[in-house]
A = this chain, B = another copy of it.
Amino acid sequence: MNDESTTLPLPFRVALIGAGGFFGTNLARHLAPQVADLRCFGLHQSFPEALSGLPWMAGDMADAPLAEVLAGCDTVIHLASSSAPGSDLDITADAQANVIASLRLFDHCVAAGIKRVVFVSSGGTVYGIPGHVPIPESAPTQPITAYGVAKLAIEKYLEVYSRLRGLDYRVLRISNLYGPYQTTAKKQGVVAAFLAEALRGEPLEIWGDGQVVRDYVYVDDAAEAVVAAMRHQGAERVFNIGGGTGMSLNDVIAAIETLLDRHLEKRFKPGRPVDVPVNILDCALAKLELGWTARTDFAHGLTQTAEWMRTWCDRQP
């Protein structure tokens, strides 16, 4: 038995929807050398130089000519999303921009004969406040934010598209991503926010008492999970993708202090109603079915992220 998978490109012609943002940029760079064809689509490129040389189409999923975007592709990776904090300001507009636009995408996937959709969902929000941790995929799903409900609704609609239209899919409920290309622009990503503040010599702004626990997964590990989901054969459809251990905000800060070898000033602010107190994903199913497990330990991922963040901070006005 020869090991084709490591020497030949994977036989997928991929349309990456939402390729311009943090995870999209990482994923595009991760996939490009591995797959037969990659087409990137998104609203705009946050880091054009990081995507240089990759085929790019700009547009809004809600009204772009998706037939054109998907033409000749067999696999769609859907990670386009409005940002989490904004979604709660206008829930209806958020549902329109995320849920309805996703269904329009799936209609186009059916019409284009797409073989599989990999949908990047949110392990940090679809469960809401968990009854216990780590959270398996079978746990109740009661999101406390519009962002989480939109992700959950899209998951559920995918099952209907699968049953009624034959559209195959996998869902990855990814936990808190961190890594290069995550900036502070969208007010998402506490690792990026803390690192930027630390590198700028500003006090770290903490919502709540810092005891909120999250599951962090390094962006390269999550990219590998996407590849595994593209290739997966089996009956399961929904997978948690996380670091599998919980870290409090205070733990994250301590790790940054260790990395930078200095004490950081903290400024504690009132907790936010959109923050669940704890979220740790049980990723046993992904290990069993996808052969996937988070490989990057937090200290290493943090070092990589800080290195990138340093150059990014240096280039900010």
Contact = CB atoms under 8 A, between A and B. Distances in A.
B160 A88 contact: yes
Contact of A145 (B92, B142, B143, B160): B160
A63 to B, nearest CB: 13
B95 A100 contact: yes
B164 A273 contact: yes
Copies of this chain:
2
Contacts of A152: 153, 156
Interface residues of A, number: 32
Contacts of A146: 157, 160, 164
A12 interface: no
A99 interface: yes
A118 to B, nearest CB: 19
A196 interface: no
B103 A161 contact: no
B156 A143 contact: yes
Interface in A117-159: 138, 140-146, 148-149, 152-153, 156-157, 159
B103 A164 contact: no
A91 interface: yes
Given A141-B156, A144-B160, A149-B156, 17 more contacts: A91-B103, A91-B107, A91-B161, A92-B100, A92-B107, A96-B100, A100-B100, A143-B160, A144-B159, A144-B163, A145-B160, A146-B157, A149-B153, A152-B153, A163-B273, A164-B273, A164-B274
